[in-house]
């Protein structure tokens, strides 16, 4: 039985009547950029091969002239000085870093400290490979099911999982009201997820996707779903996610919060914010109410939530409810008040909600290191 037939059979067993899951869509000659640490000498970068098969060699085979130096079996002060000399004049040692600056080394999408661990230069290595892309769009009954689907996607799709996007019903309803486009699924659900896989081996990716779909459908983690069959459908499905910010501005203005929160509590902020605005009598369908709706969407893999409040006009009461409530809520959970798009001028007075005084001083030093002459002081 072919891969496509097996997937169709899986959906029939799971009693899914809408949508065809099919093989990944090939994209050719897409540049893939990577960065890596380097010393002064950038020569000797390994040459890879493209295509579905590769010959993997040990480092000792690829670089036979490089031998391990037995002097470094034990670290002494002499060796430390030797390592320090290798960094050269391009490295930066930043003063004022105390213990709390290294806590939570990998918090929720805020690990900018990683850039300073032994790196002196970055080298971009473009490579062209044949790429197989899948985009799937799912409907789910609860945020708990979204978390289950995300765990399964990470475990089963692992290295080919390139995106896992969360969208609530409210965000999709507003996109539909503005665009009038046909919805991807026949029924409506409280939550939707868009999953993208990217790989270089079509058969391998198809098999992994098939097993994932079979599991989440038969376990009723996902209630319905479709997979794009061509590039037009890929764009159409992504449009339901990427069109959210643009469509929210249709009525007037939007309060936008770009936040990082533990995944287990990520959507709770949306629910609490919506409840506060509703209880205050500010949310409604007619022009008397300033708020059109409160929506949540974002990137599950980064623990990144976009909390958006679509409004018909500016209203001071709306702002009083949102701030500082949103920032205080984030602070209690050790999240970030500005996750994906940086701090900027608008949020600089609120940085203390998610960063300690020590970290703020360190951020200032990093800013001065890269931009010592502009005179722009963001912190």
pLDDT for the residue 210: 84
Q: Give residue limits of the domains in the chain.
A: 59-124, 131-243, 249-342
| pLDDT at position 278 | 98
Gyration radius from the chain CA atoms: 25
Please, which pLDDT band fits residue 341 given cuts at 50, 70 and 90?
A: confident
> What CATH code is assigned to 131-243?
3.30.70.2190
Measured in degrees and rounded to the nearest 5, phi and psi for residue 297 equal -155, 165
Chosen CATH of 249-342 out of 2.60.40.10, 3.40.50.280, 3.30.70.2740, 3.40.50.170 = 3.30.70.2740
Average pLDDT over the chain reads: 77
pLDDT of residue 1: 53
The pLDDT of residue 189 is 98
Q: In this structure, are residues 308 and 269 in contact, taking their beta carbons and an 8 Å threshold?
A: no
Q: Answer whether 230's CB lies under 8 Å from 25's CB.
A: yes
CATH fold match for the domains 131-243 and 249-342: yes
For residue 18, the Cα-to-chain-centroid distance in whole angstroms is 28
* Average pLDDT score over residue span 225-247: 94
The answer on pLDDT for 46 being more than 50 is: no
* Res. 307 pLDDT band, cuts 50 70 90: very high
Percent of the chain whose pLDDT exceeds 70: 66
Read off the pLDDT of residues 155-180 as tens digits, 9 standing for 90 and up: 999 999 999 999 999 999 999 999 99
Higher-confidence position of 16 and 333: 333
Tokens matching residue 215: 């599991």
Of the chain, the percentage scoring pLDDT greater than 90 comes to 49
pLDDT, tens only, 119-128: 455 555 555 5
Could you tell me the CA-to-CA distances from 351 to 110, 137, 302, 330, 338 in Å, in that order?
Answer: 13, 36, 20, 11, 8
Q: Are 32 and 126 in contact (CB under 8 A)?
A: yes
Rounded to 5 degrees, φ, ψ at 111 are -85, 60
Which two tokens mark 56? 């993997």
Residue 371 — pLDDT band, cuts 50, 70, 90? Answer: confident
Angstrom distance (rounded) from CA 20 to CA 53: 29
How many CB atoms within 10 Å of residue 175? Answer: 24
């Amino acid at each position: 039985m072919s891969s496509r037939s097996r997937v169709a059979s899986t959906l029939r067993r799971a009693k899914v009547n809408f949508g065809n899951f099919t093989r990944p869509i090939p994209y050719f000659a897409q540049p893939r950029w990577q960065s890596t640490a380097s010393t002064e000498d950038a020569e000797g970068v390994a040459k890879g091969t493209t295509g579905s098969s590769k010959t993997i060699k040990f480092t000792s085979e690829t670089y036979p002239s490089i031998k391990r130096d037995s002097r470094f079996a034990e670290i002494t002060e002499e060796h430390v000085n030797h390592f320090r000399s290798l960094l050269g004049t391009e490295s930066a040692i930043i003063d004022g870093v105390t213990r709390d600056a290294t806590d939570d080394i990998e918090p929720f999408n805020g690990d900018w400290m990683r850039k300073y661990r032994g790196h002196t230069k970055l080298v971009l290595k473009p490579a062209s490979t044949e790429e197989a892309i899948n985009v799937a769009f799912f409907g789910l009954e609860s945020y708990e099911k979204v978390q289950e689907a995300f765990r399964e996607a990470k475990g089963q799709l692992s290295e080919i999982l390139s995106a896992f996007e969360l969208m609530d019903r409210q965000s999709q309803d507003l996109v539909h009201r503005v665009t009038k486009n046909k919805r991807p699924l026949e029924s409506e659900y409280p939550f939707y997820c868009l999953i993208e896989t990217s790989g270089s081996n079509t058969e391998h990716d198809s098999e992994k996707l098939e097993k994932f779909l079979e599991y989440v459908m038969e376990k009723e983690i996902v209630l319905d779903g479709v997979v794009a069959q061509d590039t037009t459908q890929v764009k159409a499905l992504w449009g339901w996610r990427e069109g959210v910010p643009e469509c929210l501005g249709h009525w007037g203005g939007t309060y936008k919060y770009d936040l990082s929160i533990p995944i287990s509590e990520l959507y709770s902020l949306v629910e609490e914010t919506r409840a506060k605005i509703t209880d205050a009598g500010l949310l409604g369908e007619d022009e008397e109410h300033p708020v059109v709706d409160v929506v949540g969407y974002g990137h599950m893999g980064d623990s990144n939530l976009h909390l958006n409040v679509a409004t018909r006009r500016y209203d001071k009461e709306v702002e009083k409810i949102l701030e500082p409530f949103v920032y205080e809520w984030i602070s209690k959970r050790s999240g970030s008040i500005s996750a994906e798009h940086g701090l900027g001028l608008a949020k600089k007075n609120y940085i203390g909600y998610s960063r300690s005084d020590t970290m703020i001083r360190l951020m200032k030093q990093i800013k001065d290191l890269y931009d010592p002459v502009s005179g722009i002081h963001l912190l």
